[in-house]
Amino acid sequence: MTDSLPSFSTLSSRLVELRDGLSIAVTEQGDVDAAGGKGVLLLHGGDGPATVAGLATALADRTYVITPTHPGFDGQPRPDWFDDPTDLALAYLDLLDTLRLRDVVVIASSLGGWIATQMALHDTRGRLGRLVLINAVGIDTDGRAKTVDIRELSPAEIGPLAFHDPTLLPDPATLSEEQLVTAAANRVALEIYGGERFNHDPKLRRRLHRVTLPALVLWGEEDGVLPTAYGRLYADSIPNAHFRTVAKAGHLPHLEQPDLTLAAIEEFLGDKAA
């Protein structure tokens, strides 16, 4: 098991070995020494770590950023027993223990948001400092917000729902065979972690009152998969959370409106991420 934190200020990737034979591929950016044992844990959603790469680079200008790849995504191995967001949450808490990080800001998109809330519920060692949930999945609305089950849709059908600006959608004809295979495998991994009910735990919303960390629930207001009503319900379920929308953005506001998204995060964090 890795028990030391390397010092660097440039992009670096490595495998961190955890318990039970589990290894997590992580990308690290920023100045770890200047961060003083703190930093940002950036959790990607169902389309893989590439969707948060730009945000990671932007955040690395001010702090140390670690971006793990969820096992099963981008060709990373996933043990058969490792199959739900709680497994991921506990693994990432183990990762923070291994790296000896504290007061960590968890910034999480979509599936990553579900993982982040589970981390907050299971953080018995006080590793976390704040949460930023970006169009997070995970809660059941009891019919109070209409959501879309993307398992029933093709990628071509999902795109216009997930993006405000359709010109940002990747053209499948321009993707390599390797990229297409990776995208298909990522979708399989998403369905595994999403579970039988897919992308929500019917008990999670009723447990979020136990999350006392300061939280920002940030929402692309043109999300056709999870509407703003879903995001508001998420924020209302966390005692110390506030809700903010990003105009002209869908499910991935950090891709469609990166400057607005980063500004909202920096305003929320103030000097806490430095």
Share of the chain above pLDDT 90, in %: 77
Residue type, 147: T
Is 125 part of a structural domain of the chain? yes
Is 1 part of a structural domain of the chain? no
For the chain, what is the mean pLDDT?
A: 92
Considering the entire predicted model, what is its pTM? 0.93
Is 2 part of a structural domain of the chain? no
pLDDT band at 49 (very low <50, low <70, confident <90, very high): very high
Is 45 part of a structural domain of the chain? yes
Is 274 part of a structural domain of the chain? no
Residues 257, 252: Cα–Cα separation, whole Å: 8
Rounded mean pLDDT of 58-84? 96
Residues 155, 187: Cα–Cα separation, whole Å: 10
Instruction: Tell me the CA end-to-end span of the chain in Å, nearest whole number.
Output: 28
Do 244 and 235 meet the contact criterion of CB atoms below 8 Å apart?
no
Residues 40, 25: Cα–Cα separation, whole Å: 16
190-222 pLDDT, tens digit per residue, is 999 999 888 899 999 999 999 999 999 999 999
Whether residue 104 is predicted with pLDDT greater than 90 in this model: the reply is yes
Is 94 part of a structural domain of the chain? yes
**Cα-only R_g, the chain:** 17
Whether residue 86 is predicted with pLDDT greater than 90 in this model: the reply is yes
**Calculated CA dihedral for residues 194, 148, 238, 106, nearest 10 degrees:** 50
130-145 pLDDT, tens digit per residue, is 999 999 999 998 877 8
Residues 39, 37: Cα–Cα separation, whole Å: 7
Tell me what pLDDT residue 271 has: 47
Whether residue 7 is predicted with pLDDT greater than 60 in this model: the reply is no
| CA 94 vs CA 24, 125, 132, 133, 253: distances in Å | 10, 10, 20, 21, 29
How far, rounded to the nearest angstrom, does the alpha carbon of residue 96 sit from its chain's CA centroid?
15
Rounded mean pLDDT of 179-196? 93
In three-state secondary structure terms, 25 is: strand
Do 258 and 240 meet the contact criterion of CB atoms below 8 Å apart?
no
Is 21 part of a structural domain of the chain? yes
In three-state secondary structure terms, 27 is: strand
What CATH number is associated with residue 57?
3.40.50.1820
**Structural domains of the chain, count:** 1
Is 259 part of a structural domain of the chain? yes
- What sign does the CA torsion over 99, 100, 101, 106 have? positive
Range of the domain at 84: 12-268
Tell me what pLDDT residue 9 has: 54
